[in-house]
Every structure is written in C-alpha cells, then in structure tokens.
Amino acid sequence: MTDSNYFEPRPRGEHAVVLEGNKEIFGAGALAEVGAHAKSLGMHRVALYTDARVGKLHWLEIVLQSLRDRGIGVSVFDGVEIEPTERSLKAAIRFAEADDFDGFVSVGGGSVMDTCKAVSLYASYPPSHFLDYVNQPLGKALPAPGPLKPHIACPTTFGTASECTNVAIFNFLDSGTKAGISNRAIKPSLGIIDPDALRTLPAQVVAANGMDVFSHAVESFTARPFTHRPAPEDPAVRPVIQGANPFSDLNCLEAIRLIGENLVKAVRDPEDFAVREKLSFAGLLAGIGFGTAGCNLPHGMSYAVSGLVKDYYAEGWPRDHALVPHGFSVIINAPSVFRFMGPTCPDRHAQAARALGVAEIGQRPGDDLARGVIEIMRAIGVPNGLSGVGYTMDDLDALTEKGWKQRRVVDNAARPVSKEELKEMFAGAMSYW
Ligand SMILES: [Fe+2]
C-alpha cells in the first residue's frame, strides 16, 4: 500500500472519497460562547447532559451561565454513567421525553457526548424496539426517520472526538458486548472545544486519552485504503467510514506528530497548559481523521479487553467497578498490531514512526513504530500490555472470540486477518518490557 495506490484505477473499486462538514469551534475560553451558539441554533429550552464528576466542576457553571445570559431555559441531567449502559441510556432518554426540549447540550467526556447523541435520536423518534438503531448484527441499523433537534457537544476531556463523529457506543449488558450506533443524524450540530477544560484533567487521564488519540491517528493512517473498497452501488450513499484517504492522512500525521512532541511533557508537568492545548487540538484532528477513515485492529481488540476485565482499577477513574480506561485498552494492543501488520504497509508505518519522532527506521518499520510508542507508554505509566491489566495466556481464546466479533473495525485493517492471526496479535500484546 502506498500513497499512489489511492489513485490507481482499480476494477470495480472505489474511486472517490467524501469529506462531510464538521462544525467545530476550538479555543481557550470558548465554553462561555455556548449560550450564543445555542441561541443562533434556535434553542429556547435545552436538556443538558453531564456526569456526576463534571457536574461539580466550574466548567459546567460557565456553560449554564452562558445559556441563562441568553435567556435559554436549561434542565440538567447529571446521571450519565462512565462507560454507559443501556440502563443509563434509558434513564437519559426518559429525562428528555419528560419535557418539551428544543435542543441538547452535552458537557463532559465521550460517555456524556455519546449518551446525548443517542438521546437526541431515541427521544425524537422512539423506535419500536430498543436495538433498532444499533449497528448490525446486534440491531437493525435503521436510519433516523427525520432531522434531529440541535445538539452542542462540549468535551471536557480530549481524545474521544465524540463531538465530531456520528457514532455513539454503549455497553449492552444483555450480551456483555459494546453496542454502537453509527448514524449520520447523530453527529452534533456543533462541537465547542475549549482546551481550558483540560486544566482539571488528572495526569493519568491525560496519559490514557493521549494514547487513544495516537491510536486513532495511526489506525486511520494504516487502515484499508478507500480505493480497496468496492465501488458503491449508488454514489449518493457512500459509507461514513471509508478507509484511509488523503483527507484523513493529513490530519492524522499531524496528530501523531503533536502527540510525539507533547504527550510525555503534558503528563509530567500538569501546569504546562500550552502542551495540553496542543493535545486537545491533536485529539480534534485525529477525530476528524478517523471520522472518515475509521479505526482498525487495536480498537477492535480493545472492546474485548474492556469487556472481559476482571479486577483492574485505574487511578483517576471511578473505583466502584473494574474498568480498563479506553485509551489503555486500545494502546496495549497497538505495538503488537504494528509489528504484525507492518509488513503489509511498511511505508505507512515508516511515515507514522517518523511523525512520532522515531529517529532510526530500518527494514521493519512496524517494529520501529512499536518501539517508539512503547517508549512513550513506559514514560507515562501505561500498563505493560494485557498482563498489566490482569490478563494471562489462559484468556487468549476468550479475547479472540470477543475481538473477532468487532467486524466493523477488524475488516478495516489494511488486509484481511484470520482468527488465528488475531489470536497471535493478542498473544504478542501480553507484555512489552
Ligand atoms: Fe478511541
């Protein structure tokens, strides 16, 4: 796979790529603008979603004040669960249905924004069955029957980029798996990214989210090229996730560079706001990138890692239940995947390694990229592979079974992988140092 492959005519292959617009406002202090933008979107009475932790931070007060200043009524739901489930999602939907809201605002991390995105769909057009909007095979992936009410998404962390994607993820307790809703309609009308909000982010959260951003960027950059998909039957309905493409390449290489330059500094020195601001921007860039390209194996594997967790508790996250923070569950797979998939697209792995700041790149660039990220993982306190979050070789079959079901991301790898190969990649991720 090389860049030039994008443009080679391929029989029955895709020949064009779509970049759908994202409206994002980025800048320190931008949270105070929420009210003005809500007004211009026609909101008079909004349902604001947040979680118990963010609900106590003054970032929420800034948003509430800006809404009140514009005469906009607001009711707050602060019961969003971190790693939402259908139970917490249903409670959030009931809240929206109980009043006559004409818009939504979400203030928080990925769980909060994802919940609000799903609420905007479910409360506007209640489905006949709860799973109707959920991706196949769990659900029917039904499209939204019409336009949704406006939603302003305000991240108070960075990395998930939920403010600029049309995906919402929750844990489906009945089957013990992650359920995704990919629906063009749920992309927020506007994202307001205020890097000031990162000032209160604990160092370990910065570490995990920074690694998530890095993986979004590398996974998009090394995903199956868009030209390797079959041409669409109807060019007016191209899929949201298209594979690596020239737009996402630009964003993702810059995001990798910003992570290489700033992540270790940001974790070591929480007072250095300038580096946190750069990480926030990297998160947005990578988010716009994976919004069209899509992630691949490290994210596919991460859903098994987070779903099968037994007794891992991380500093900086709620300790009422075992949980592998998303960024950790992703990045602990990544070096193994880079080593395994490097030979499929060595140029891309070499470019990613160079962007990260790896000085010497040899015959196996996937190994060099793995080396570069392992160095960062060690420097910022990421667990040492799967064993670092409590897994042993006895868990390989269960991890593989669960990871294998994540077709949407597994099939977005640069080449098809077998179940046996996926197991090898899990085995290679057990420990790195
Ligand atoms: Fe992620």
Q: Where are the beta strands (DSSP E) in 110-198?
A: 151-155, 167-172, 177-182, 190-193
3-state secondary structure of 194: coil
Compute the distance from residue 98 Cα to the ligand 1 centre, in Å: 32
The pLDDT tens digits along the chain (433 residues) read 444 467 665 777 888 998 887 899 999 999 999 999 999 999 999 999 999 989 999 999 999 999 999 999 999 999 998 888 889 999 999 999 999 999 999 999 999 999 999 999 999 999 999 999 998 888 999 999 999 999 999 999 999 899 999 889 888 887 777 788 988 899 999 999 999 999 989 999 999 999 999 999 999 999 999 999 888 889 888 888 899 999 999 999 999 999 999 999 999 998 999 999 999 999 999 999 999 999 999 999 999 999 899 889 988 787 888 889 999 999 999 999 999 999 999 999 999 999 999 999 999 999 999 999 999 999 999 999 999 999 999 999 999 999 998 888 999 999 999 999 999 999 999 999 9
Compute the distance from residue 71 Cα to the ligand 1 centre, in Å: 36
Compute the distance from residue 328 Cα to the ligand 1 centre, in Å: 10
Compute the distance from residue 377 Cα to the ligand 1 centre, in Å: 16
Compute the distance from residue 330 Cα to the ligand 1 centre, in Å: 7
From first CA to last CA, the distance across the chain in angstroms is 31
Neighbours of ion ligand 1 (CB under 5 A): 212
Q: Which residues contact 202 (CB under 8 A, 6 or more apart)?
A: 315, 316
Compute the distance from residue 39 Cα to the ligand 1 centre, in Å: 32
Compute the distance from residue 227 Cα to the ligand 1 centre, in Å: 24
| Domain chopping of the chain, boundaries | 29-193, 203-428
Compute the distance from residue 419 Cα to the ligand 1 centre, in Å: 22
Compute the distance from residue 179 Cα to the ligand 1 centre, in Å: 14
What CA–CA distance (Å, rounded) separates 214 from 210?
A: 6
Which pLDDT value is given to residue 4? 46
Which pLDDT value is given to residue 1? 43
Percentages helix, strand, coil for the chain (3-state, rounded to 5) are: 55, 10, 35
Compute the distance from residue 236 Cα to the ligand 1 centre, in Å: 28
- Residue type for 297, please? L
Top-level CATH class of 29-193? alpha beta
Q: Which residues contact 16 (CB under 8 A, 6 or more apart)?
A: 235, 238
Query: Do the beta carbons of residue 211 and residue 157 sit within 8 Å?
Result: no
Compute the distance from residue 290 Cα to the ligand 1 centre, in Å: 9
Domains 29-193 and 203-428 share a fold: no
What CA–CA distance (Å, rounded) separates 10 from 21?
A: 27
Q: Give the CATH H-level superfamily of domain 203-428.
A: Dehydroquinate synthase-like - alpha domain (1.20.1090.10)
pTM check: above 0.75: yes
What CA–CA distance (Å, rounded) separates 262 from 193?
A: 18
Compute the distance from residue 66 Cα to the ligand 1 centre, in Å: 30
Compute the distance from residue 212 Cα to the ligand 1 centre, in Å: 5
